[in-house]
A and B are shown apart, each in its own frame.
Chain A
């Protein structure tokens, strides 16, 4: 089983829609989780960190459920510019290794 798993999508949604991504992890020792955004042929960029208490940044909300070992990302009022691949990642190991999920592709259409 992969350490971090995501639904690859793609998610095709109209502008203004609300979309949610989930990501499950298998290593219960992982302490920190993140959501990254990656555009085609570019490096990943940190979108937000994920806390048990939830983390909201504008239209984006991230949640961590330790009991069920999953993290989520909610995007409200989708914009065309939100089209990208969203990667979840967990910190693993003593050297702060990031283990990435395969990514979920989002396509927002007019």
Chain B
């Protein structure tokens, strides 16, 4: 149990286009989902916290108008990178927390590798 999927697993796009990444909890309801970004040889940096039915909470330095997050249901959150630029190329990983778990363990998706040309 506790499987999280991401789609697509990798994407290559042209500069200026928008890319949508989906994060799904397959066998549990996720009250909270998190979006991370990881540059090569660096750690995961939390971008935003997404709660179902409410606005996402963004970390300092993350542009909310550039990284649009929608958590429309208890099993789906989407991250849209708008007007992508080469510096947005990174590994984007989501995680989901099951409200049923006492200790709120985070289950990670397999990640999406974005390359902006």
Contact = CB atoms under 8 A, between A and B. Distances in A.
A, B bound = yes
B37 to A, nearest CB: 11
Nearest to A87: B43
A95 B32 contact: yes
B105 A98 contact: no
A102 B110 contact: no
Contact of B49 (A8, A95, A99, A100): A95
B106 interface: yes
B32 A43 contact: no
Interface in A79-110: 87, 95-103
Interface string B73-117: 000000000000000000101010100000111101111010000
A101 B43 contact: yes
Contacts of A43: 93, 108-111
Nearest to A98: B106
Q: Which of A43, A46, A95, A101 neighbours the largest number of chain B CB atoms within 10 Å of its CB?
A: A43
B57 interface: yes
B42 interface: yes
Interface of A: 8, 32, 41-46, 49, 87, 95-103
